[in-house]
């Protein structure tokens, strides 16, 4: 049971990390695509 709990924590952590990376890249792409006034 402890191993299952650890695995689900790692999975959740990995998903959050991936989402943060995607959000960061998306924000950076928006900055690049937005012309500077």
In a domain, 9, yes or no: yes
Residue 10 backbone dihedrals phi, psi, to 5 degrees: -65, -45
Tokens of 33: 């695509």
Return the sign of the alpha-carbon dihedral for residues 13, 16, 22, 28: negative
Q: What distance in Å separates the CA atoms of residue 4 and residue 28, rounded to the nearest whole number?
A: 36
In a domain, 4, yes or no: yes
In a domain, 2, yes or no: yes
Predicted pLDDT of residue 13: 92
Predicted pLDDT of residue 26: 82
pTM: 0.55
- Structural domain for 8, as ranges: 1-26
Q: How many helices and strands, by DSSP H and E, does the chain display?
A: 1, 0
Q: Give the residue, 25 or 31, on which the prediction is more confident.
A: 25
Predicted pLDDT of residue 37: 56
For the chain, what is the domain count?
1
Tokens of 18: 């991936």
In a domain, 34, yes or no: no
Predicted pLDDT of residue 24: 87
Q: What distance in Å separates the CA atoms of residue 12 and residue 18, rounded to the nearest whole number?
A: 10
Q: Is the pLDDT of residue 16 over 60?
A: yes
Predicted pLDDT of residue 11: 92
């Amino acid at each position: 049971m402890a191993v299952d709990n650890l695995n689900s924590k790692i999975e959740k952590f990995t998903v959050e990390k991936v989402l943060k990376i995607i959000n960061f890249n998306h924000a950076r792409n928006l900055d690049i695509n937005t012309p500077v006034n």
